[in-house]
Amino acid sequence: MSRRRQIYEGKAKILYEGPEPGTLIQYFKDDATAFNAEKKGTINGKGVINNRISEYVFTRLGNIGIPTHFIRRLNMREQLIRQVEIIPLEVVVRNVAAGSICKRLGLEEGEPLPHSLIEYYYKDDALGDPLVAEEHIACFNWASQDEMQDMAAMAIRINDFIAGMFAAVDIRLVDFKLEFGRLWDGDYSRVILADEISPDGCRLWDMNSGEKLDKDRFRRDLGGEEEAYQEVARRLGVLQNDD
């Protein structure tokens, strides 16, 4: 079989040229990184599970009218996606204090926030993805005002929907990261959800025990990351071996 042309290789995924113009193939690796790639490792089977979980979440979001890059899953590790121009921002939604906000503001991990928060980080590995204000985004023209409004509105809807989706399987959605892209049609573009939604980019805690079911197991050397990812997939009902 001939190899497809590689377009981009990230820390956890590879993008290949797709079968038709305007499409790409997103391949999910088992590689895991943390702390801006200072810590590297693998989580066996992670790519297969994240492909399934992200397919499931993006499909459900598509069903409620959130436009996404997802077209269809191709096999265990690959999905067909629409080619977009990635907006250089990581959009983080937080419901409960954890991770960097605890360090930055001296909050206790697990403190519920008075209301959900949206934060923006500038995607730049060399700078370690710094937190930025909307003023920076406008000043440096990383996204337009319209695009910011669209991203914020989608982030709130996505949070409401997937927090409920996870709560239904006894998982608390603490926080998560989204990426958006511009889908071009001639001279015009619209913003759609891109990248992935999986335990790599979410904090997911068991509702009863508080057990962490996400990449913090890897970040903090807690062990059991494979089992944690599998548990999320199992609860969502997406772990079938039909290919």
Least CB distance from residue 11 to ligand C5P, whole Å? 9
Name the DSSP class of 68.
B
- Give 88 or 144: the residue with its C-beta nearer to ligand C5P: 88
Task: Please state the φ and ψ torsions of residue 106, each to the nearest 5 degrees.
Answer: 70, 35
Please report how the helices 145-167 and 46-63 are oriented relative to each other, as an axis angle in degrees rounded to 10. 110
Q: Is 92 among the residues that bind ligand C5P (CB under 6 A)?
A: yes
Amino acid occupying residue 99: G
Determine how many CB atoms are found less than 10 A away from the CB of residue 165.
Answer: 16
Least CB distance from residue 101 to ligand C5P, whole Å? 6
Give the whole-angstrom CA distance, residue 61 versus residue 69.
11
Q: Is 215 among the residues that bind ligand C5P (CB under 6 A)?
A: yes
Helix, strand and coil percent figures for the chain, each rounded to 5: 30, 35, 35
Q: For the chain, report the end-to-end CA distance as a whole number of angstroms.
A: 18
Q: From the list 31, 90, 147, 225, which residue makes contact with ligand C5P (rule: CB under 6 A)?
A: 90
Give the whole-angstrom CA distance, residue 137 versus residue 65.
26
Q: Is 100 among the residues that bind ligand C5P (CB under 6 A)?
A: yes
- Give 83 or 95: the residue with its C-beta nearer to ligand C5P: 95
Q: From the list 46, 73, 172, 203, which residue makes contact with ligand C5P (rule: CB under 6 A)?
A: 203
**Max Cα-Cα span within the chain:** 54
Footprint of ligand C5P on 171-200 (CB under 6 A): 175-177
Q: Residues touching ligand C5P: how many (CB under 6 A)?
A: 13
Token couple for 21: 């113009």
Least CB distance from residue 203 to ligand C5P, whole Å? 4
- Give 1 or 126: the residue with its C-beta nearer to ligand C5P: 126
* Part of the chain binding ligand C5P (CB under 6 A), chosen from 46-54, 79-87, 97-105, 185-193: 97-105
Q: Which residues bind ligand C5P (CB under 6 A)?
A: 90, 92, 99-101, 129, 175-177, 201-203, 215
